[in-house]
Structure 1
Amino acid sequence: MLSRVVNVVEQVADAALGIVGVRVLTEEPSHTTKKLTDTVEIRRYEPRIAAETTVEGSDEEKARSDGFRRLAGYIFGGNQGSRQVAMTAPVSQGAAKGEKIAMTAPVSTSSDENGWVIRFFMPSKWTMATLPTPKDDRVRLVEVPEESVAAVRFSGSRSPEAVAAKTKELLDALAAKGVETAGEPVSWFYDPPWTLPFRRRNEVVVPIAA
């Protein structure tokens, strides 16, 4: 009982801090970082696990909202055993691009005909063997291999127009530096919708050749 009360207090505190973009209790996947330009970073991520769902339709913002609710349902007890899994950052969104998605394999994306793939990365203490099984069969647990990515950060609007502008900026910067991409760009969002826009951490990320 006490642990539940503590958990609720922590969640309330985290939500309040989230208004101003403070993520004290939010784990991020382990990685190394180096600068490519003043605005573009190169990162190397270790293997990790994600809970993901595919949301049909072409509306990017609605897909993000619907996918977030499905995945939040999973980590807040919508699983076998009704266990809670801590929220992490970022939330990932990429186009589903018509690919068939294997239940236990990493997913790559290439066109938006089938909708959007939304991902929550799982805290590092969990494994595929220990994570609870989702009750919603639209939620999948996938292993994400180690990868190198290029990222550009921005605050403010998360609209499709804002994401498209940052995607162009990132790809132009990589082309100018002769860096080869190895996949499609995705959007990463580190803060909840209620965070003040100028305090939000948003990113466009693209895999690159190691």
Structure 2
Amino acid sequence: MWQAISYYSVLALESVLGVVGIRLYEEPRFDIVGSLKSGIEIRRYGPRLAAQVELGEAGDARRDEAFGLLFAYIAGANRTSALANERVAMTVPVEVRVGERVAMTVPVQVIDPGAAPTMRFYLPAKFTRDTAPTPTDARVTLLEIPTETVAVSRYSGSGADSTQRRRELVAALARSPWQPVGEPYTLSYDAPFTLPFVRRNEAAVSVIGP
């Protein structure tokens, strides 16, 4: 009981601070290996573990449903070999892939436009595939993500312009030594109730380069 009270008290505090853009959540570690004049940052992430839900189709209602499933997983809708209902610390960013085609001038592998959009929560670094709690809802799956290099462009606001931001990122990379090797996606670091001008959003895409 006290563990649950402590867990939700911390989440409540983090939510209150999040209104003004103060973030206490753990983020995946990365090294900055390059940058472009357009403000794009090139990051190298180590292996990560994520919980993922396929949205089935685009739309705010499906995103809300996916977020609810992922939050339920970290809040205790899971089991381990040792105990049931383990609570997992919230982390950022939340990743959303929408399965769109984006025009570009360099060869790039893109996701099939008919493929299901996905949402991911990254798990705290202490977890491995063997130690992470198993989701009790079959719609939530665990995914191991290998080391990758990612180009990122940061912006604030509500995120309503996310599609345009992803397109601008890909267009900027076409004039650089860094070549996209996957579909662009969105990283969100704040809750919807965070003031728009202090929100941290990022357009991102995996790349290879010099």
Name the TM tier (shorter chain): 0.7 to 0.9
2:120 alignment counterpart: 119
2:9 alignment counterpart: 9
* RMSD of aligned residue pairs (Cα, Å): 1.7
For 1:1-210, list aligned pairs within 5 A.
Answer: 1-24=1-24, 26-33=25-32, 34-59=34-59, 61-80=60-79, 81-96=84-99, 110-159=111-160, 162-210=161-209
Runs of 4+ in 1 over 6 A off after TM superposition: none
Runs of 5+ unmatched residues, structure 2: 101-108
> For the residues of structure 1 that align with 2:110 and 2:85, how far apart are their CA atoms?
31
> For the residues of structure 2 that align with 1:109 and 1:123, how far apart are their CA atoms?
28
TM-score using structure 1 length: 0.87
Closer, same or farther in 2 for the Cα pair 1:135/1:96, shift >3 Å?
farther
Closer, same or farther in 2 for the Cα pair 1:122/1:143, shift >3 Å?
same
> For the residues of structure 1 that align with 2:206 and 2:148, how far apart are their CA atoms?
7
1:105 alignment counterpart: none
Letter in 2 for 1:172: A
Query: Is residue 7–residue 87 contact of structure 2 (8 Å, CA) maintained in 1?
Result: no
- Give the match's secondary structure for 1:187: strand
Query: Is residue 53–residue 71 contact of structure 1 (8 Å, CA) maintained in 2?
Result: yes
Residue 10 of structure 1, CA deviation: 1.3
- Give the match's secondary structure for 1:49: strand
Letter in 1 for 2:180: T
> For the residues of structure 2 that align with 1:177 and 1:202, how far apart are their CA atoms?
22
- Give the match's secondary structure for 2:44: strand
Query: Is residue 58–residue 113 contact of structure 1 (8 Å, CA) maintained in 2?
Result: no
- Give the match's secondary structure for 1:208: strand
Letter in 1 for 2:37: T
Query: Is residue 55–residue 116 contact of structure 2 (8 Å, CA) maintained in 1?
Result: yes
Residue 39 of structure 1, CA deviation: 1.6
> For the residues of structure 2 that align with 1:92 and 1:138, how far apart are their CA atoms?
16
> For the residues of structure 1 that align with 2:208 and 2:141, how far apart are their CA atoms?
27
Residue 21 of structure 1, CA deviation: 1.2
> For the residues of structure 1 that align with 2:12 and 2:136, how far apart are their CA atoms?
25
> For the residues of structure 2 that align with 1:140 and 1:109, how far apart are their CA atoms?
22
Runs of 5+ unmatched residues, structure 1: 98-107
Closer, same or farther in 2 for the Cα pair 1:120/1:149, shift >3 Å?
same
Query: Is residue 29–residue 124 contact of structure 1 (8 Å, CA) maintained in 2?
Result: yes
- Give the count of matched residue pairs: 196
> For the residues of structure 2 that align with 1:132 and 1:8, how far apart are their CA atoms?
18
Query: Is residue 93–residue 116 contact of structure 1 (8 Å, CA) maintained in 2?
Result: yes
> For the residues of structure 2 that align with 1:174 and 1:19, how far apart are their CA atoms?
33
